[in-house]
Amino acid sequence: MLATKKMHPVGVCKKCHGITYRTEAIEQRCGRSPQGKRCRGVFKNATSDADWKECTACKGSGKYEARLCPFCSGIGWNFVRIGGL
């Protein structure tokens, strides 16, 4: 069975590189809690198709050999914007 391709995220945290699929979260504080402390970063806009490249290992599904894809952390996409955030 083929896994379905995921939509690319629309925002990336400038500090922890977490992602969001919610446009209303852009320019808002990140809610991730790596190591038990809330991230102090802010989600930056990454809505352009040019900001993302489909993961070649999982073909955008986030699954690799029936597990979470280690090449894209299960997102199905890799952030590729030249110049970063």
pLDDT tens digits, 4-41: 889 999 999 999 999 999 999 999 999 888 778 899 99
Residue range of the domain that includes 18: 11-79
Nearest Cα residue to 3 out of 65, 71, 78: 65
Question: 72: which residues sit within 8 A by CB, 6+ positions away?
Answer: 55, 57, 58, 62, 78
Residue 2's pLDDT is 60
CB 75 within 8 A of CB 19: yes
Residue 64's pLDDT is 95
- The count of structural domains within the chain is 1
Residue 28's pLDDT is 96
The answer to the question of residue 66 being in a domain is yes
CA distance 60 to 71: 11
The answer to the question of residue 84 being in a domain is no
pTM of the model: 0.83
The answer to the question of residue 5 being in a domain is no
